[in-house]
Structure 1
């Protein structure tokens, strides 16, 4: 992990391949006449995706980053499958500017649909060209050839020729164009099979996996001195004490209210940070409004809003006699990413070139943003993605990268490692927005929903850098600061706000406010809160209609795949007794209304008098279309249920009149190992359909299933998260 990309490429001895369509194949599906996957259509040059190394192995380039979702393994599987290679013969390089395709952000459960499918098509195209080249070389027909483990031979057993030997001195660089002949599914050896992730073993052994583990010769360490509260400005700084008492101190970097220290070792950097905190004076900005601290849902609804009509069909006015109406309001507080490893980055500046190693989810957008913040040419900034520990969404990774870049430019020629503290991570990361959801529906005499009105209030779910320096925390505190600029309407607040059910008259509105806390993308964006509200309300409507939760949902669904996941989870849990003081709850959603289907049942025990809730077991049934790695899909769904259960029961950002106060795991509790429920995931594999994103599919239904189970366990309907905070109210 200490080898630079430049040195690696000098010694790798690789041949890059890119080719035009030609030749036939065997054991393949008919050529696909549709469109290329989006990423491949944007970057059709084959050498953007695939390189054959001199030793015969194949290197795959992806613009996506490994976040724990197992994308490196899944991409290797589809490439190895199409090229008839063993997994050991495929390496995958992750997001890196100037080396991998610019696939934007690793977000929105889009890595399989976008990157993995692009690799599949590129690898299939490569296989066909290699076979045609081998046929020409060996003077045989393509149908007489077979390929395995990077070698091509004839069916008669003539000596095999390796991919690398076949290419020799050739440099082929055509573009992938349709049609592309994909391998026949009935010949799959790897896709659809569980393939272990090789990084898990290194994690268990505490090996070098994360950006935190990077070490370079002569590397120095840095820490930031943050303002005590949002918006405070540096007024006075006394550098004398820290220079006298911290011998390892190398440099104090001051740029407006941006204040950092660089030291020879990490302990000295932490010492310097501690001393300087006591020797700085900051301005005092206005306090957080009292109303926000005493009744946050009511306060948020008083803020000025911009309103967007998300969907409208039919007539949602109150109906005539015979229609029963029901109203309910739900709330989700600000919640954290709560990354297990606080944000970290390494930067190196020398000879006008800036290198940054980061766990940002978008290396190219980060480079664009750094370019503007630092007023540097993009070609002078190299950003390499390195996995981080425990985050799905926009946490402090980009901010830490910008911190490190600014500090490294103040100390050229040394690698600068910038590490956030737990307090910094909890206090300064962008949170998932608080949301208010209000639903109203009418039922006819048969218990069917005939009208639906839904309004939500939310801050932005999208303030990633994306070329806006003000969306980087340090840029706001420079001597010439950059103002923040959120994505507004495109921020994802209304994701899954429209129910997937058949409802003839519906209206959905999103009201966007500018709230008191910093917010951005957190796993599933607004879908978590919207599905919590919709699926809780569906349970309330089912009771009002006198229907059981399964029947009520099925009678409002037309999509057979949606019905299938609900029926399957009902089958799996039909023999599970809840017992005294326990209850079982159901919830369903199709993520984004266009991606994976997921149904969840939770069994909980609940005691209102004791204020206790315990999730005993959760079942999920998921349909993500064609499954690349069933173990990876199950892992994602299991982890998503556990994370969602923690959000649902325990997590809430706390703040007083001045600052964020939930600055550690005691004040911002998450699930302990002893609280983790048993989880069981069933995958409905549909190899004949397209692969769909699944990393965020379970977040919303898991939350609603727990809330619905609490109601059945104790008769208490809790519409405000986290449930444990409101169990006794």
Structure 2
């Protein structure tokens, strides 16, 4: 019987360049230049917030600091618009500080996922229940009928969001994304609950709930494999009829020389994990090699992906490997330590990200069949890479780490509680 909980902390978008916007209010018309990911929803909410007719507002996309999701770009745009209305005819430029960018922008949602599972005498899973509790993943401007811009809420509390909903399943879900395991479990049940009590604003961050949900599922699979006395790869394959998922798992294993020569509790080990993004997109399996001394260090990654027909091989590789590096940074380092219902002032010292010197060696292989349509590659790596790192670190330590990020403090806590 397995009954364990897995979690991740709040994560910042941590764009390298802070959010910036220009605005000009002239002859009764407002023009805003922004690097928002959604200029039309932003336009509607700026007009709504400032009491302007929609035709009087124009938002122009301009190149700026990018992100994978909803960062502070929209908020900076409204900031510039508010000042521009007070200074007609004068161009206004707003650029957030580093502290603004890390502390005022929406965060990636904190989450937890509890797994209850049983195996039978033959070492097969006979029951599986996953319960997810998460903050919202979707509070872009206009979503749910709310303005969802920080300065709008500061100007008028009526703009504070009321009921916040999750993304619908047709859009891939938010907290529910990848909560259904890819394995052939009898009686699999999944429950998802949004926790909206906190005043801290959370919104879309690359892969949404898939990062933690896959980490939880694949960590639990390793724990169940241990209970069954089975190799983690063999245990997965005995529960998996999806041939394309089996292929990426076997491919990653072959690339890495699984199971490797390093056993548990030797300070260095391999970990494996797999998922199909949104349960309808690309398949990806990852094997991670980590070393553990004073901290967890990711040494190598082997990635095997099936993204359907690959149109641009180098573009697909960049998406997969970039996503893997970002997932490694979230998994090993990134955490916004909130204080009650506020985010403290943060800089790069208080919110470290993966350094160039810490980027692992990565080998990527694609399984390509021109008869299969393209599936996209941008967010397939997040969950499997996180889980592979967690499984490798737990085997190297000889004890299970279930809470992200896997920082030095968490390592010490796990060792003290062992």
Whole-angstrom distance in 1 between the partners of 2:235 and 2:64? 42
1:497 maps onto 2:174 in alignment: no
Counterpart among 387, 412, 427 of residue 103 in structure 2: 427
Question: 2:191 corresponds to which residue?
Answer: 509
Q: What CA deviation, in whole Å up to 9, does each residue of 1:399-439 have, x standing for no partner?
A: 11111111122222232211000011111111111111110
For the residue of structure 1 that corresponds to 2:314, the secondary structure is helix
How many matched pairs?
402
- The 8 Å contact of residues 164 and 196 in structure 2, kept in 1 or not, is answered as no
| CA drift at 1:513 | 1.2
For the residue of structure 2 that corresponds to 1:723, the secondary structure is coil
| CA drift at 1:660 | 2.3
User: CA, structure 1 residues 481+545, in 2 after alignment: closer, same or farther (shift >3 Å)?
Assistant: same
- The 8 Å contact of residues 137 and 166 in structure 2, kept in 1 or not, is answered as no
Question: 2:71 corresponds to which residue?
Answer: 395
Whole-angstrom distance in 2 between the partners of 1:374 and 1:447? 62
- The 8 Å contact of residues 370 and 469 in structure 1, kept in 2 or not, is answered as no
| CA drift at 1:388 | 2.9
Whole-angstrom distance in 1 between the partners of 2:331 and 2:127? 28
Whole-angstrom distance in 1 between the partners of 2:2 and 2:343? 37
For the residue of structure 2 that corresponds to 1:484, the secondary structure is coil
Question: 1:483 corresponds to which residue?
Answer: 160
Counterpart among 383, 394, 412 of residue 728 in structure 1: 412
For the residue of structure 1 that corresponds to 2:281, the secondary structure is coil
Question: 2:2 corresponds to which residue?
Answer: 326
1:207-246 equivalent positions in 2, closer than 5 A: none
Question: 1:367 corresponds to which residue?
Answer: 43
For the residue of structure 2 that corresponds to 1:617, the secondary structure is strand
User: CA, structure 1 residues 407+584, in 2 after alignment: closer, same or farther (shift >3 Å)?
Assistant: same
Q: What CA deviation, in whole Å up to 9, does each residue of 1:44-77 have, x standing for no partner?
A: xxxxxxxxxxxxxxxxxxxxxxxxxxxxxxxxxx
For the residue of structure 2 that corresponds to 1:619, the secondary structure is strand
Whole-angstrom distance in 1 between the partners of 2:100 and 2:188? 43
Question: 2:416 corresponds to which residue?
Answer: none
Q: How high is the TM-score relative to the length of structure 2? A: 0.92
Aligned-residue Cα RMSD (Å) equals 1.8
Question: 1:597 corresponds to which residue?
Answer: 283
Whole-angstrom distance in 1 between the partners of 2:410 and 2:31? 48
Question: 2:170 corresponds to which residue?
Answer: none
1:693 maps onto 2:376 in alignment: yes
| CA drift at 1:728 | 1.1
Whole-angstrom distance in 2 between the partners of 1:408 and 1:522? 30
Whole-angstrom distance in 1 between the partners of 2:245 and 2:345? 39
1:591-630 equivalent positions in 2, closer than 5 A: 591-607=277-293, 610=294, 612-630=295-313
Q: How high is the TM-score relative to the length of structure 1? A: 0.53
1:437 maps onto 2:113 in alignment: yes
| CA drift at 1:658 | 7.3
For the residue of structure 1 that corresponds to 2:114, the secondary structure is strand
For the residue of structure 1 that corresponds to 2:106, the secondary structure is coil
In structure 2, the gaps of 5 or more residues are: 168-172, 414-418
- The 8 Å contact of residues 35 and 66 in structure 2, kept in 1 or not, is answered as no
| CA drift at 1:657 | 5.0
Whole-angstrom distance in 1 between the partners of 2:292 and 2:126? 34
For the residue of structure 2 that corresponds to 1:618, the secondary structure is strand
| CA drift at 1:483 | 1.7
Whole-angstrom distance in 2 between the partners of 1:711 and 1:471? 39
Whole-angstrom distance in 2 between the partners of 1:430 and 1:665? 17
| CA drift at 1:493 | 0.5
In structure 1, the gaps of 5 or more residues are: 1-324
Whole-angstrom distance in 1 between the partners of 2:66 and 2:238? 39
Question: Once superposed, which parts of structure 1, at least 4 consecutive aligned residues long, lie more than 4 Å away?
Answer: 575-580
Q: Which moved more, 1:487-496 or 1:582-591?
A: 487-496
Whole-angstrom distance in 2 between the partners of 1:632 and 1:710? 30
Counterpart among 649, 671, 677 of residue 360 in structure 2: 677
| CA drift at 1:355 | 1.7
Whole-angstrom distance in 2 between the partners of 1:328 and 1:479? 43
